Amino acid sequence: MDKFTIKDIAKLSDVSTATVSNYLNGNYAKMSPNTKEKLANIIEKTNYRPSTTARNLAKNENKTIGVSVADITNPFTSPVISGISERCSEYGYKLVFTNSNNDEQKEVENINRLLEEEVAGLIIDPVNPNSNTYQRLSNTYTVIVDRQAQRSIIDTITTDNMKSVELMTQKMLDAGYTDLYFVTWPLSGISTRINRYTGFKNATKYTNDEHLLTIPYDYESSDDDSFTQTIRQIVTSSHGKLGFFTMNSRVLQNFLKVTQSLNYTYPDDFGVATYENFDWMQLMTPGISCIRQDSVAIGHAAMDLLKEKLSTNYTSEPAPRMKTIPTDIIIRESF
């Protein structure tokens, strides 16, 4: 785009490139007010912009952090990015972004690309936190968000999954619900899902998985698929007071679509609550009780932690830390 280099500016200003460089880096102490002003003018006039690439190479540093998200389509994701992005610009980092579309293979490629880029640090919203792709990463420059590995070696930031679900389930219990179901995408070893389910079991004291209802990740309700049948069966044969907890907003949507097609209504035919909070849940009639997680805060925390790590000098691989961001519970009229 621009053809000007530091040499051109030096020539035009009748100084050396070193002086120009000093000017560029704010080392004004090293030059007379005169040259400083001259430089200011010329640079302004020529609209000269130093090449970040060359700078990075020369200083052997790269103020960029790489972000790899599992699925940008997930409504959880954009607030997290927003939080990261905010902190990035505060801290003077730029953000290069990759989306893996829930494809592990794609994620590996993305991470490789980012590594080649020589990003200073990595923030990963992992497709499968138990994958061994992350083994090769160092905890000195990466942090994981949202999903947590079974046996993690990397700092990770999650929301308070277990406790909050336990609490919400308890609320349903307190409201007299005796027959509770947990609706989720396949657990697949994914911590977010497992922890939420564990919270559910802690509260209900269910000892087996008979109250675990699983729908495929890409579930689209159709006429009378097996999930629809299951729900019908449960609703018609339940003895106690029947309630459902859905594992996130998308599962909730699928669930409600099914119950609507079945002509069941809440809170009459069943009670319902969900993880995640979105504006529309308040608009539903009745409003949906839910657990609100602060996704922006996750982004903030991730970048804060990363920055801290990047500015400390580790002599050895630091032990992984976990940070959980608190949630709160919103009770509406859905149970």
Partner DNA sequence: CTGTTAGCGCTTTCAT
Partner DNA sequence: ATGAAAGCGCTAACAG
Q: Which of 19, 35, 68, 99 binds a second copy (CB under 8 A)?
A: 99
Task: Report if residue 274 touches a second copy, rule: CB under 8 A.
Answer: no
Smallest gap, in angstroms, from Cβ of residue 168 to a second copy? 20
Task: Report if residue 280 touches a second copy, rule: CB under 8 A.
Answer: yes
- Record the tokens describing residue 10, joined without a space: 């030096």
DSSP state string for 186-250? --TT-HHHHHHHHHHHHHH---SSTTEEE--TT----TT-HHHHHHHHHHHH--S-EEEEESSHH
- 218: nearest Cα among 181, 261, 254, 249: 254
Cβ distance to a second copy smaller for residue 286 or 320: 286
Smallest gap, in angstroms, from Cβ of residue 90 to DNA? 21
Q: How far apart are CA 261 and CA 255, in angstroms?
A: 10
Q: Which of 17, 21, 46, 101 binds a second copy (CB under 8 A)?
A: 101
Which region, judged by CB under 8 A, interacts with a second copy, from 13-21, 49-57, 176-184, 234-242?
A: 49-57
- Record the tokens describing residue 97, joined without a space: 């972004």
Q: How far apart are CA 139 and CA 268, in angstroms?
A: 50
Task: Report if residue 265 touches DNA, rule: CB under 7 A.
Answer: no
Q: Per-residue x/- mask for a second copy, residues 52 to 91, rule CB under 8 A?
A: xxx-xx----x-x--x----xx-x-xxx-xx--xx--x--
Task: Report if residue 113 touches a second copy, rule: CB under 8 A.
Answer: yes
Residue 37 binds which entry of a second copy, DNA, none, with Cβ cut-offs from 5 to 8 Å by kind? Answer: none
Task: Report if residue 41 touches DNA, rule: CB under 7 A.
Answer: no
Q: How far apart are CA 16 and CA 7, in angstroms?
A: 8
Task: Report if residue 40 touches a second copy, rule: CB under 8 A.
Answer: no
Residue 229 binds which entry of a second copy, DNA, none, with Cβ cut-offs from 5 to 8 Å by kind? Answer: none
Smallest gap, in angstroms, from Cβ of residue 303 to a second copy? 13
In contact, 323 and 108? CB cutoff 8 Å? no
Q: How far apart are CA 29 and CA 179, in angstroms?
A: 74
Q: Which of 37, 40, 57, 308 binds DNA (CB under 7 A)?
A: 57
Q: How far apart are CA 117 and CA 68, in angstroms?
A: 13
3-state secondary structure 238-295: CCCCEEEEECCHHHHHHHHHHHHHCCCCCCCCCEEEEECCCHHHHHCCCCCEEEEECH
Cα radius of gyration rounded to whole Å, the chain: 26
Cβ distance to a second copy smaller for residue 194 or 256: 256
Residue 75 binds which entry of DNA, a second copy, none, with Cβ cut-offs from 5 to 8 Å by kind? Answer: a second copy
Which residues, other chains included, contact 179 with Cβ-Cβ below 8 Å and sequence gap of 6+? 238, 239, 240, 241, 242, 243
Q: Which of 1, 11, 12, 24 binds DNA (CB under 7 A)?
A: 24
In contact, 293 and 264? CB cutoff 8 Å? no
- Record the tokens describing residue 261, joined without a space: 């097609």
Task: Report if residue 284 touches a second copy, rule: CB under 8 A.
Answer: yes
Residues lying near a second copy in the complex (CB under 8 A) are found at: 1, 49-54, 56-57, 62, 64, 67, 72-73, 75, 77-79, 81-82, 85-86, 89, 94-99, 101, 106, 109-110, 112-113, 115-118, 138, 141, 250, 253, 256-257, 260, 278-280, 282-285
